[in-house]
Amino acid sequence: MSQKNPARKKYYIGLSCTFHDPAIAIINEAGEILYAEAVERFIQSKRAAGVLCDDKNLVDELIKKYCADGKEFIICYSWSKAFFNKLHLKATFGIQSVEKKWVDYILKDMPANVLSSYDLVGYEYLQYGSLVQVGISLKRMLHIICPGSIIKEQYFNHHSTHAAYACYTSPFDEGACLVMDGIGEGGSFSLYRYENNKITPTYVQKKLASLGFFYALITNLCGFDMYNGEQWKVMGLAPYGKLDNEYYNLLKSMVRIKDHDFEFTLVKPWVRSLQELSSRLNNGKRSFEENAGMAFTGQYFFSEIMQKLLNGLYKLSPSENLIYTGGCALNSSFNGEIVKRTSFKKIYIPSAPSDDGNAIGAALLSFYKDNSLPDSIHRSYSPYLGSCISGEVINKFFKFSGMGKTQHCVEHLAERTATLLADGKIVGWIQGRAEFGPRALGNRSILADPRSSSMKDKINSTIKFREDFRPFAPSILHEYGNEYFEDYDYSPFMEKTFYYRKEVVNKIPAVVHVDNTGRLQSVKKETNEKSYSLIKSFNSKTGVPLLLNTSFNIMGKPIIHTMEDAIGVFFTSGLDVLVAGDHIIEK
């Protein structure tokens, strides 16, 4: 008697289909997140601007690995169908070209490196190009790999996918949720109430004012490039500066705020204020101190507006718990101040609050649409959802590399690596699955001894090849958090910046920024056992329960994706040691 084929399964495939930070996520019929990763890792292009999230070769690999037994697939998009139709209409009838001419006229005296019509209208062209093609390769490969399967499509509001990812993975039963980014379907931020596993909008901004876009302008005014995501540099540079009252008053004249809302002043006054700011650029020849003053003032003003908005949100939706997401939630400098400066007592920010996280958000919205569960099943959310470099590939490298100084340490990997770190070696560390989000959380990391006063400059100049003012983060054993940081709060995704206690600053100079802060990662054994064991071993040898932790890449490139990527960084930088799985190789 022949056996019946096993039941074919149902999968939810979420697509973050913004023109930047594209990503893909796969969730099974039980609600488990099987995979989530930004496409930039796969193609090794930072932010992957203009790249489709369902690259043919990528989805071919993912379908075969995670859902080849599927019978029904729900493809979930992170933008609404109405938004797609609006862009299609504008592109078809040439409305964008009319809009561009109008914006060119408004910005005719603006330096191109500060603001142009491309910044405002060009985004729409890029977004349209992404949306008109997304899903085609995925559907084709599903039909080839899973013949006869049922394929359905669902479209979701952009900010709703942000909120779903954050709310459903949060540790809270209820809370107020803020989505704050560059732009959604209508405005740049939305407020939600999360309770009983339901997400209910309480306020949706419909104005053009955008705090995300505002911070991007500050990035350009500081001499950086918002297209390359250099907002990080503004946060790193700001502590070197001081408040510039003239800049501050000009920035303040551009924005009006009331309760839980804000708006730009009328277009011409807003543009005139920006022109006054840009006139002080001196053709890009401003001093370090002037740029630092602009960065400090921009960060100060951003924090001021966010404080007012969050207190307005608290009045609208009182709760001890804040769930915060969207691109602005990557501003770790302000995130560490939220509990002190607002009425909220606890805060949750997911590991990928920018648009890449919407791949999970769209899939979760579809899953919960089909499954009315009494309690969230995602409370133990792990960021380690990306690709894994196979042991076979690692073994081939150590077999054929010709490098003599290699070790295979199955039992004493943490102890041996901790010894190398304590001896001043800089280590590239690869373990398990890649982190979902922009930060290295102990699986694709470059690690070093934080006690060395020269380590920060050494890594910036010989490994990361970036500006010397850029700081490095500490990964600390959670149980020691209060000993090292003031107002310490559990920070598993390196999402908050706190002040160090004065008595520890001189012990760990490599991870202390100029203002005595650090953007920390809290490490627990149950969330990352190998990372925890390594830091614990280092603590046993040195009495310091933390390591310098930065992403395994060089400036301008995404975090490494393959063993070949890792080898490239290892042999073209000042890295001393590469640890991949249970193998150690030294130069």
Contacts of 217 (CB under 8 A, 6+ apart): 114, 115, 226, 274
Indicate if 397 and 530 belong to the same structural domain: yes
339 within some domain? yes
Residue whose C-alpha is closest to residue 363's, from 388, 331, 385: 385
194 within some domain? no
d(CA 380, CA 367): 17
Indicate if 373 and 413 belong to the same structural domain: no
509 within some domain? yes
Q: Which two tokens stand for residue 561?
A: 């994706």
Model confidence pLDDT, tens digit, residues 416-449: 999 999 999 999 999 999 999 999 999 999 999 9
Indicate if 341 and 399 belong to the same structural domain: no
Sign of CA dihedral 243, 249, 251, 252: positive
d(CA 386, CA 190): 29
Core vs surface per residue 473-486: b (16+ CB within 10 A) or e: bbbbbbebbeebbe
Q: What is the dihedral of CA 490, 492, 496, 497, to 10 degrees?
A: 80
Residue whose C-alpha is closest to residue 235's, from 254, 245, 222: 222
Strand stretches in 484-571, DSSP E: 496-499, 517-523, 546-551
Indicate if 512 and 549 belong to the same structural domain: yes
Residue whose C-alpha is closest to residue 280's, from 256, 258, 297, 261: 297
d(CA 442, CA 446): 9
Provide the residue type at 236 as one letter: G
Q: How far is CA 125 from the centre of its chain?
A: 24
Indicate if 424 and 567 belong to the same structural domain: yes
Q: State residue 264's pLDDT score.
A: 84
d(CA 457, CA 398): 31
151 within some domain? yes
188 within some domain? no
Indicate if 304 and 286 belong to the same structural domain: yes
Indicate if 364 and 335 belong to the same structural domain: no
Q: Which two tokens stand for residue 188?
A: 């740049």
Q: State residue 209's pLDDT score.
A: 87
SS3 for 308-331 is HHHHHHHHHCCCCEEEEECHHHHC
Angle at the Cα of 330 from the Cα atoms of 564 and 119, rounded to 5 degrees: 90
192 within some domain? no
| Three-state secondary-structure class, residue 280 | helix
189 within some domain? no
The DSSP call for residue 558 is P
Angle at the Cα of 127 from the Cα atoms of 125 and 128, rounded to 5 degrees: 65
Question: Residue 583 in contact with residue 407, Cβ under 8 Å?
Answer: yes
Q: Which two tokens stand for residue 184?
A: 């959604």
Q: What are phi and psi of 188, to 5 degrees?
A: -100, -5
Query: Could you say which residues of the chain have pLDDT below 70?
Result: 1-7, 280-284, 373-376, 404
CATH number at residue 135: 3.30.420
Indicate if 393 and 483 belong to the same structural domain: yes
Q: How far is CA 72 from CA 13, 53, 69, 146, 149, in A?
A: 11, 20, 9, 9, 6
Strand stretches in 346-432, DSSP E: 346-348, 384-388, 406-408, 427-430
d(CA 384, CA 442): 10
199 within some domain? no
Q: State residue 100's pLDDT score.
A: 86
Sole residue written with tokens 């997400």: 199
Q: What are phi and psi of 365, to 5 degrees?
A: -60, -40
d(CA 86, CA 185): 10
CB atoms under 10 Å from CB of 346, counted, come to: 17
Question: Residue 284 in contact with residue 113, Cβ under 8 Å?
Answer: yes
Residue whose C-alpha is closest to residue 68's, from 144, 125, 153: 144
| Three-state secondary-structure class, residue 301 | helix
Indicate if 43 and 24 belong to the same structural domain: yes
Residue where a domain stops, chosen among 300, 332, 348: 348
Indicate if 414 and 517 belong to the same structural domain: yes
Q: Which residue range forms the structural domain that includes residue 405? A: 386-586
Indicate if 462 and 578 belong to the same structural domain: yes
Q: Which two tokens stand for residue 18?
A: 């913004």
Question: Residue 335 in contact with residue 369, Cβ under 8 Å?
Answer: no
What does 124-150 look like in DSSP terms, one character per residue? HHHHHHHHHHTTHHHHHHHHHHSTT-E
CATH number at residue 219: 3.30.420.40
Residue where a domain stops, chosen among 381, 398, 427: 381
Total domains in the fold of the chain: 3
Sole residue written with tokens 């590991």: 351
Indicate if 340 and 368 belong to the same structural domain: no
